Amino acid sequence: MTARRFYTPKDGGTDYDRIADPGTYPFTRGRLRPPDGWIQRELSGEGSPRRSNEQLRMLLAHGAHGVDVIGDNPTMSVMDPDHPMSVPAVGTTGVSLCRKQDFLELLDGIPLDRITLSHSLPAAFALAGQYLAGRESGLQPAVLRGSAIQPPLYAEDCSYSTFLPFRLRMRLALDSIAFSLREMPRFHAFLEDTYYISDGGLDVVEEMSLGLLEIREVSRRLIARGLPVDAFAPRIAILVNCRMDLFEEIAKIRATRRLYARMMREEFGAVDPRSWSVNIAVHTSGLSLTAAQPANNIVRGAVQALAMAMAGVQGLEISTFDEPFRTPSAVAHQLAIRTQQIIQAETGVGAVEDPLGGSWYLESLTDDLERRIDEAVRRMEALGDVDTLVENGYFRGIFTNAMDRHSTSVQDGRLRIVGVNEHVVPPESDRLLRDVAEERFPPDLAHVERIRSWRPTRADGPLQENLADVRRAAADPEADLMAPLLAALDADATFGEIAGCLREGQGLPADPFEYAGAHR
Amino acid sequence: MTPPRPGRFVIGTLGLDQHEVGAMAISQILVRHGYEVIYLGRFNTPHRLAAVAEQEDADVIGVSVHSWEFTAYADELVRRCRDLGIGLVFGGSVLTDADQADLLARGADAAFGAYRAEADMLRQIDAVVQRVRAGTMAPAAPDPGPAPLAGRVVVVTGAARGLGRAYTLELCRQGAAVVANDIDEAALKETVDATRGTAGSACPAVHDVTDPATPRALLDTALRRYGQVHGLVANAGVLRSGPVLRLADDDLRLLLDVHVTAPFRLLRTFGAYWRAEAKAGRAVPAAAVLTTSAAGLYGFRAEAAYSASKAAVAMLTRVAADELGRYGTTVNAIAPAARTRLTDWLPAGPGGGDDPWAPEHVAPIVAALLGPDAREINGRVVEVGNQQLSVPGTWRPGPPHALPPGLSATDAGALLSRAFREAGDPLPVLGT
């Protein structure tokens, strides 16, 4: 977006009814936050559940308010660690989770009634796991807080494929949201994660229009099931990206709040004000970080976090400086939490809501983005029903083009990146923090062995009965998937087995790879 | 419009690598420059990439790596590409300079890291395509066989020469990552260089094993570089010969420092790490192999101090095995017989694989002691070399004799005679 050299009152910021006070419709300026500002958390998870549990404890000991747990690649694909395709990747980029016991170990001693637990995990499975872990520690599910990413439209096309057909993915999303609303009313059962769809190179308009499109689609389907909009809208949250064009990112959040409020009130008929103001959390962009001169990433994370604190987000995670290389090291985790704490405790930016509100530039940018995001949503909805768009690869095309656009603009220097296409230094003088950043965590083969040797120790009768229930439910388009999924996990079925039965119920092979035949 | 270049690519990511940003970006670049691209997206096996490449008569398989662990598939891909006589190119922003060098050493034809300049990439890719078209790709390497120690990290001391070098090469052949320690930097480098092209890898760590800080430094190197450590081979040894009446204090001290104190300290440091891992619920299937000697088991003429130091290792093995076995660590010792700098008195052999005294023959046994099939073996000594392997007996109590109180001088003498008559004669010391 090209900005002019300066802005004047003619450009925006004069119609205060469109902006309004923080905490009032249309919520341009967000909600009034509690005195401690935003929820400070960091993405975590590495190796076995026990090892990740130590990571969570360390982060909480350093003052994090919540945790965001990400699975390793097999877990994100609901595949078990002992699947031949999984083995090289077990625990390397997140925690390995595939059974009830894993959740008990992951969350052992974590005060689930006092902190928020965000799942960057397959939502229905993680909700079931958290529910069972809460039950184990004697907690009422009603006290559980946190969020679960629901990506039924885009997951297969940009990352974290679960190898499930769209219809099943949508059913899992709707059933798990309904389950969470019923059982875990303080939990954000529907986290629209525009971070992960956009960090391949989407611009802010693409990011938020796709996000709002998915929120609208899921909301319509929930309403069609007979859920009143005010029953679920307050439990929707958005996790957005934050790149380096800071004013654009702040304006994007303000525009999204306004679009969301209007959509909920005007289109979906929500009457509860809590349904109008969306909870927005942010994960700073990993794509904006560089493998060259990794220490520079600390600076990037800090300015992004500062901008997001001023944008009035409800939760904040910084992509750590070693992100171009690995999931966060302990040092990087601590630096990211300290960055948030310095901003929160020392700068005072959280003391006033929307401190940049009224800036002619920011208000003009907010208006402009609001219009463009809205137009993009309308344009996509005019193309037809989303099932067809998903199946025809329409969204995949958007992601592909964005990736190419990003890499081209870095190559030709239109997107300026210090250390990459300017101010480059030779490798021998690029040493600062490099050793820490390049340290690696090898696959946790001991955990693979643990799962392998545990498998035959399970009681087979109840296990097979519960898996048959999952298969039957998957075959019946009217059936609820969440109850049989929860029961199967409780009976020591694994993610891979449950996902296999979901596929079989749809007439698909249980193993998406049928690896044994393909290998060698 | 760019004129078409002769070059057809099969492009995709490997295994469960979830992100295809790089694969898409490089495909677009190639297409813009007139190459043909068959895009396979995510979740490929080496088998699938090679099958499509063969079917489509492609020149090059291009693999995008978004998460480094998927380079684990490189060896299989190299084999398949060599079989097909086509090129193999890796790219990915996570590939560090060391990764790129590693992939090239393993047989990839090109490897690119973050934001490599387009012109440079295309120049290298063109060169690969030209070699494929000219039929001058390297021939298929022989199948290196199974890699039973893939994913295991082993520290070997005294790795520069002799047995330590043979162990390092064998462990790497079997897929292990070896932290190779020695005091001789130049010879160590030569050993590490010789591991190139194996299924495993080695990194040199130059330290003196008699330095108290060395065990910690070696553990740190293993953890920093590989994240875990599964095995320890305390192999470093010296020979200082001399009868009891002539061996100088300095020689005595060196023998005890290198053979007893150094492995003791290594066990203390590595054992503590493995115990901590076990207590944290991450038990490592760890194994330590110490080095004793026939001299330590039976004695060797005129090598009293050497023999005593090696006997100490045998007993250290037993007691440490008892202690560390509780945390899942095995401790065994090997008594090797091989031609090394310490045994230059052995009869000259034909050399190479025909030499019954070649250290290479001992190495597979050490590798097996570190492997998954030897978890039940703990606290034992195994003698290996000169075409045989045996498990020597350990000290056992002899038949007991009653010891009455207030034994007279005559009775004591008689009791001793009777006991030794029944016990039989010991083996003579070796070298007699």
More confident residue, B214 or B277: B214
Q: Is B226 a catalytic residue?
A: no
- Give the residue from A162, A198, A400, A435 with the most B CB atoms within 10 Å of its CB, the best one to mutate: A400
The 3-state DSSP class for residue B61 equals strand
Q: Is B352 on the interface with A (CB under 8 A)?
A: no
Q: With bands split at pLDDT 50, 70 and 90, how would you rate the model's confidence at A517?
A: very low
What's the pLDDT at A158?
A: 80
Percent of chain B exceeding pLDDT 70 equals 94
CB A253, CB A240: distance < 8 Å? yes
pLDDT tens for each residue of A83-136? 988 988 999 999 999 999 999 999 999 999 999 999 999 999 999 999 999 999
Nearest chain A CA: its distance from B230 CA (Å): 11
Q: Residue B344 has which token pair?
A: 């230059």
Nearest CB to A518; choose among B47, B228, B285: B47
Q: What secondary structure letter does DSSP report for A422?
A: B
Percent of chain B exceeding pLDDT 90 equals 57
Angle between helices B162-173 and B363-370 (to 10 degrees): 60
Q: Is B310 a catalytic residue?
A: yes
- ipTM score of complex: 0.88
Answer yes or no: do B94 and A325 touch at CB < 8 A.
Answer: yes
More confident residue, A427 or A63: A63
Q: Given a cut of 80, is residue B312 above it in pLDDT?
A: yes
Q: What mean pLDDT is reported for chain B?
A: 89
The number of C-beta contacts closer than 8 angstroms across A and B is 124
Q: Given a cut of 80, is residue B139 above it in pLDDT?
A: no
Residues present in chain A in total: 520
Answer yes or no: do A420 and B15 touch at CB < 8 A.
Answer: no
Q: Given a cut of 90, is residue B412 above it in pLDDT?
A: yes
Nearest CB to A86; choose among B16, B98, B117: B16
Answer yes or no: do B15 and A404 touch at CB < 8 A.
Answer: no
| DSSP H or E stretch at residue B154 | strand B153-157
Overall average pLDDT of the B358-385 stretch: 93
Nearest chain B CA: its distance from A265 CA (Å): 37
* Region label for A293, one of left (φ > 0), alpha (ψ between -120 and 50) or beta (otherwise): left
pLDDT tens for each residue of A417-442? 999 888 988 877 888 998 888 888 88
Q: Given a cut of 70, is residue A516 above it in pLDDT?
A: no
d(CA B265, CA B46): 44
Question: Any bridge partners for residue A282, and if so which?
Answer: A240, A316
Same topology, domains B8-133 and B153-390? Answer is: yes
In the set B27, B35, B306, B307, the catalytic residue is B306
Q: With bands split at pLDDT 50, 70 and 90, how would you rate the model's confidence at A193?
A: very high
d(CA B302, CA B242): 5
Overall average pLDDT of the A160-164 stretch: 90
What's the pLDDT at A140?
A: 92
Q: What mean pLDDT is reported for chain A?
A: 93
Q: What are the structural domains, with CATH classification, of chain A?
A: 35-411 (3.20.20.240), 458-510 (no CATH)
- CATH fold for domain B8-133: Rossmann fold (3.40.50)
| DSSP H or E stretch at residue B364 | helix B363-370
pLDDT tens for each residue of B143-198? 556 678 887 899 999 999 999 999 999 999 998 999 999 999 999 999 998 988 78
Overall average pLDDT of the A183-203 stretch: 94
**Best CATH choice for the domain B153-390 from the list 3.40.50.150, 3.90.1150.10, 3.10.150.10, 3.40.50.720:** 3.40.50.720
What's the pLDDT at A520?
A: 27
Answer yes or no: do B16 and A79 touch at CB < 8 A.
Answer: yes
Write out the DSSP string of A139-169.
--GGG-EEEEE--TTTHHHHS------HHHH
Q: Given a cut of 90, is residue A263 above it in pLDDT?
A: yes
Q: Is B70 on the interface with A (CB under 8 A)?
A: yes
Quick check: pTM over 0.95? no
d(CA B404, CA B418): 14
Q: Given a cut of 50, is residue A518 above it in pLDDT?
A: no
Overall average pLDDT of the B340-368 stretch: 77
pLDDT tens for each residue of A488-499? 999 999 999 999
Write out the DSSP string of A7-60.
--GGGSS--HHHH--TTSTT-TT-PPPPTT-SEEEEEE--BSHHHHHHHHHHHH
In the set B27, B64, B293, B309, the catalytic residue is B293
DSSP-H helix ranges across A359-478: 360-381, 386-391, 394-411, 434-438, 445-454, 460-475
Q: Is B113 on the interface with A (CB under 8 A)?
A: yes
Question: Can you give the residue ranges of every domain in chain B?
Answer: 8-133, 153-390
pLDDT tens for each residue of B18-56? 888 788 888 888 998 889 999 998 999 999 999 999 999
Answer yes or no: do A435 and B224 touch at CB < 8 A.
Answer: yes
Overall average pLDDT of the B77-91 stretch: 93
d(CA A376, CA A397): 15
Q: Which chain B residue has its CA at the smallest distance from A74's CA?
A: B16
d(CA A134, CA A104): 8
Q: Which residues of chain B lie closer than 8 angstroms to A499, CB-CB? A: none
Q: Residue A360 has which token pair?
A: 């002619």
